[in-house]
C-alpha cells in the first residue's frame, strides 16, 4: 500500500485513546531514566509515606497548638499578679532555694530559671526515686518567697507536648518518632524526584478540574507537596534532631565534661555545696555581657555530679538560643571552666525553636500553622490516593 504500514486493531485503538496520566511511557517521560529506577523511587515514596502517615498526622495535629504554646499558656494561666514587695529587697538565690526545698522535703534541686518580665525565680526539683521526667516546678516571688502563679506548664499543653515528643515512652518513643521523621524526609525527597518528570507536560500548578476526583486529588497533592517541600524538610529535619536530644546531651557530658567529672571521687552532697548565689555571681564575671538563663544543679542532665552549670545566652534573635555554661565547683565555689557548646549541641539548640517557628514573632507562627495545615491535607490526600488505587487495582 505505497509503503504505508497497516496498523492492527489493537494499535488503532491505542492510537485513538488519550494517554492515561499513570500509563504514560516512562522511558520518554522521564528523560531517559530507567523504568526500574522510577519504580524504585515510587516504591520509596509510597511505603515511606504509608508507614509513617498516622504518626505524622499525630505530630502535625499536636504540633499545631504547640506552635502557639506561649500564647495559649498566657491565655490559660494569666492571672492578675504583682510582687509582694516590688520596691523592697530581693531574696538571694540561696534563700529562694531554701524556700522551695522546705515546701517539698526530701527533694533535690535540678534546675533554676528566671522570668524575664517579673521578679520570679522558678525552681525545678525532683524526689530521688521519682521516675525519669517527673519534676516539681515552683515559681517563687523573689521579693517575698511566696508562691507566684506560673506562666508556663499548663497540664493540657504539657500532655500535648509529651505526646508530640515521645508518645509517653521516654527515649524509645523519641527515637521512634525520629525514625518517622526520617521516613518523612524520604517521602519528600522521592516525591520531588517523581514530580518534575511527571508534570513536565503540564503547566506548573495545573489542577485538572474536569478529570476524575482521583486525578484532581492527585494534582492537589502534588501541588501542595511541591509548594511546601522546603518547609517540610526543615521541620522534618529539625524534628529528627530534636528526638536525639538525650543522646546528644549525654555525649556532650561524656566528652566535653569528662575531664571535670574525673577529678572527683564522689558526688557532692547537698549539705556540702557552696553558696549558689556566689556561684552565679562568679559565673557572671566569667561571662560578662551575657544574660543569665538557667542553672543546672549537680547531678542534673546539663551538669556533672560536682558542678553548678550556669548558662548564659546572647541578646540577638540568633544568640538567644545559643547558650554557654560556666562550670562552678559546687564544693568550693571556684570557677572550674567555661565550656562553649560544640557544634552538635548548637545544632540542637537552634533546631528546637526552628521546629516550632518560635523565633520570629506571631506572624511567623501563623505562617508555620498554615503550612502545618497544608501538610495535614497532603498526608490525608496521599492516603486517599493509595486507597483509591487499591480499589481500582482489580
Tens digit of pLDDT for each residue in 94-135? 999 999 999 999 999 999 999 988 999 999 999 988 887 789
* 244-254 mean pLDDT: 92
Task: Give residue limits of the domains in the chain.
Answer: 43-78+155-245+369-394, 91-154+246-356
With cut-offs at 50, 70 and 90, classify the pLDDT of residue 261: confident
- Closest to 27 (Cα-Cα) out of 19, 36, 18: 36
> What is the average pLDDT score of the chain?
86
Q: How much is the pLDDT for 24?
A: 41
Q: Considering the entire predicted model, what is its pTM? A: 0.80
* 43-67 mean pLDDT: 93
Whole-number Å distance between alpha carbons of 73 and 139: 15
**340 pLDDT higher than 50:** yes
Element (DSSP H or E) covering residue 242: helix 229-243
**2 pLDDT higher than 50:** no
Q: How much is the pLDDT for 68?
A: 94
Q: How much is the pLDDT for 199?
A: 67
**393 pLDDT higher than 70:** no
Asked whether 22 and 386 are in contact (CB, 8 A), the reply is: no
From residue 51, alpha-carbon distances to 246, 303, 384 in Å are 25, 38, 14
Whole-number Å distance between alpha carbons of 357 and 231: 11
**9 pLDDT higher than 80:** no
Between CA 222 and CA 180, with CA 379 as vertex, the angle to 5 degrees is: 115
3-state secondary structure of 271: helix
Amino acid at each position: 500500500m505505497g509503503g504505508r504500514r497497516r496498523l492492527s486493531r489493537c494499535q488503532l485503538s491505542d492510537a485513538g485513546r488519550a494517554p492515561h496520566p499513570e500509563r504514560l511511557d516512562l522511558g520518554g517521560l522521564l528523560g531517559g531514566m530507567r523504568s526500574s529506577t522510577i519504580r524504585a523511587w515510587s516504591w520509596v515514596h509510597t511505603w515511606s509515606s504509608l508507614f509513617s502517615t498516622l504518626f505524622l498526622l499525630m505530630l502535625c495535629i499536636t504540633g499545631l497548638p504547640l506552635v502557639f504554646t506561649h500564647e495559649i499558656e498566657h491565655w490559660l494561666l494569666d492571672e492578675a499578679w504583682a510582687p509582694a514587695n516590688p520596691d523592697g529587697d530581693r531574696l538571694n538565690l540561696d534563700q529562694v532555694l531554701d524556700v522551695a526545698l522546705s515546701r517539698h522535703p526530701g527533694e533535690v534541686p535540678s534546675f533554676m530559671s528566671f522570668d524575664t518580665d517579673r521578679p520570679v525565680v522558678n525552681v525545678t526539683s525532683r524526689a530521688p526515686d521519682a521516675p525519669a521526667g517527673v519534676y516539681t516546678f515552683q515559681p517563687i516571688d523573689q521579693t517575698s518567697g511566696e508562691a507566684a502563679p506560673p506562666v508556663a506548664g499548663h497540664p493540657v499543653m504539657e500532655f500535648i507536648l509529651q505526646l508530640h515528643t515521645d508518645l509517653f515512652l521516654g527515649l524509645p518513643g523519641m527515637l521512634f518518632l525520629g525514625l518517622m521523621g526520617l521516613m518523612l524526609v524520604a517521602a519528600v525527597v522521592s516525591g520531588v524526584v517523581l514530580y518534575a518528570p511527571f508534570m513536565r507536560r503540564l503547566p506548573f500548578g495545573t489542577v485538572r478540574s474536569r478529570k476524575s476526583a482521583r486525578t484532581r486529588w492527585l494534582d492537589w497533592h502534588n501541588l501542595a507537596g511541591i509548594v511546601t517541600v522546603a518547609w517540610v524538610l526543615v521541620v522534618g529535619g529539625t524534628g529528627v534532631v530534636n528526638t536525639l536530644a538525650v543522646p546528644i546531651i549525654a555525649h556532650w557530658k561524656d566528652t566535653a565534661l569528662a575531664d571535670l567529672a574525673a577529678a572527683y571521687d564522689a558526688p557532692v552532697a547537698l549539705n556540702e555545696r557552696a553558696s549558689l548565689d556566689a556561684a552565679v555571681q562568679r559565673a557572671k564575671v566569667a561571662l560578662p555581657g551575657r544574660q543569665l538563663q538557667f542553672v543546672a544543679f549537680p547531678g542534673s542532665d546539663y551538669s556533672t555530679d560536682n558542678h553548678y552549670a550556669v548558662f548564659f545566652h546572647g541578646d540577638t534573635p540568633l544568640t538567644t538560643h545559643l547558650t554557654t555554661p560556666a562550670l562552678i565547683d559546687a564544693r568550693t565555689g571556684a570557677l572550674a571552666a567555661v565550656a562553649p557548646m560544640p557544634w552538635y549541641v548548637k545544632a540542637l539548640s537552634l533546631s528546637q525553636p526552628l521546629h516550632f517557628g518560635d523565633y520570629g514573632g506571631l506572624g511567623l507562627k501563623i505562617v508555620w500553622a498554615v503550612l502545618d495545615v497544608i501538610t495535614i491535607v497532603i498526608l490525608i490526600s496521599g492516603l486517599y490516593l493509595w486507597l483509591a488505587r487499591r480499589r481500582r487495582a482489580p
